[in-house]
Homo-oligomer: A and B are copies of this chain.
Amino acid sequence: MPKSVAEIAAYVAGEVIGDSQTVITGLASLESVRAGELVYAETERHLAHALASAATTVLVGPGIVAEGKVSIRVQNPKLAFARLLEWFEPEPRVAEGIHATAIIHPSVQLGENVAVGPYTVIEANVRLGKNCQIGAGCYLGPGVTLGDDCVLFPRVTIYRNVEIGARVRIHAGAVIGSDGFGYVFAQEKYWKFPQRGTVRLGDDVELGANVTIDRGALDATIIGHGCKLDNLVHVAHNVTIGEHTVIAAQTGISGSCTVGNYVLAGGQVGIADHCHIEDHAVLGAQAGIPTGKRIRRGQTVWGTPARPLAEFKKQYAYFARLAELAERLQALEKKIGTSRKLA
């Protein structure tokens, strides 16, 4: 469904520079754009790339003109592009209606317009807000609640009593509310410490494929509004994560940590138990935060054990020159007559 530049500009409240009757057939990346399509340019490099491409029209930021192309000028080109993408190609629904094979306990409360895919099981006392889409083969344990407009992709498992906010999206294979990893060592073996808490997810959370979030031992594991967790992330029992925190793939957060608001964690970060990651901290990929450590507000850390980024870089630069330092030390020793072989 082609649209005119004028229509598109109206949709994103943008200003047209060039022919507003130009027809746009689709949206594309800079790498694969063809004539008739629209791209966005966030940076100078993007812009140069866009100008050299077959793109007909470029979404640009304030004060920018894409010379030789039709430009649509908006406050935030990437955000405008994201909105257009949803407009041009709405996300396909994960389920339509209630499939005949869905097993839904009579006590379940379904909001208006809830859809449930085939072979999904919804246990007693679950409550689903309106417009929720539950994909095929999901399992929602007793007492689970979802707010409005949630999307569960196929094969999501949610254990009993987990509370989920509105507009939450959970990808395939994710497991929410499994037992925390708690045992008591006594008499030469590990005894189960029952995990009787739960998990609470705020609104607008998105969880990637095969993510695991454990339930608290006695209280709740909490993930605040707007958090985004990438694939294969692990969140242990009794963790509390604030709002709008972003955690890249394969990161693990151990028991009883607190993570603030607007934290950024790179991929494969490991946070040991009882750490406190304050608001706006940035944890570099593969960083390791030792038990009980506090990362201060806004601090960027890297390495294992993690230290401030500037310090890490300085230490690392010297590390890379260790051979030179050792040789110079040896030269000095020779000069002074204390020379020893470098073992």
Q: Is the CB of B32 within 8 A of A85?
A: no
Return chain B residues, CB-CB under 8 Å to A208.
Answer: 178-179, 181, 212, 214
Q: Is the CB of B121 within 8 A of A121?
A: no
Interface presence of A44 (CB below 8 A): no
Partner of A31 from B219, B266, B311 at Cβ < 8 Å? B219
Q: Is the CB of B178 within 8 A of A175?
A: no
14 contacts between A and B (CB under 8 A): A29-B218, A32-B218, A86-B192, A89-B196, A121-B154, A141-B154, A155-B157, A178-B208, A181-B228, A183-B228, A190-B226, A209-B212, A210-B210, A319-B322
Q: Bound complex: CA of A86 vs CA of B217, how far in Å?
A: 12
Q: Is the CB of B157 within 8 A of A248?
A: no
Closest 9 A-B residue pairs measured CB to CB? A318-B322, A175-B209, A157-B172, A178-B209, A29-B218, A212-B231, A139-B154, A209-B212, A85-B194
Partner of A184 from B78, B326, B331 at Cβ < 8 Å? B78
Q: Is the CB of B286 within 8 A of A270?
A: yes
Interface presence of A128 (CB below 8 A): no
Q: Is the CB of B267 within 8 A of A285?
A: no
Q: Bound complex: CA of A240 vs CA of B95, how far in Å?
A: 30
Interface presence of A343 (CB below 8 A): yes
Return chain B residues, CB-CB under 8 Å to A206.
Answer: 179, 192
Q: Bound complex: CA of A160 vs CA of B93, how far in Å?
A: 11
Interface presence of A27 (CB below 8 A): yes
Partner of A234 from B172, B231, B305 at Cβ < 8 Å? B231
Find the B residue at minimum CB distance from A167. Answer: B192
Interface presence of A252 (CB below 8 A): yes
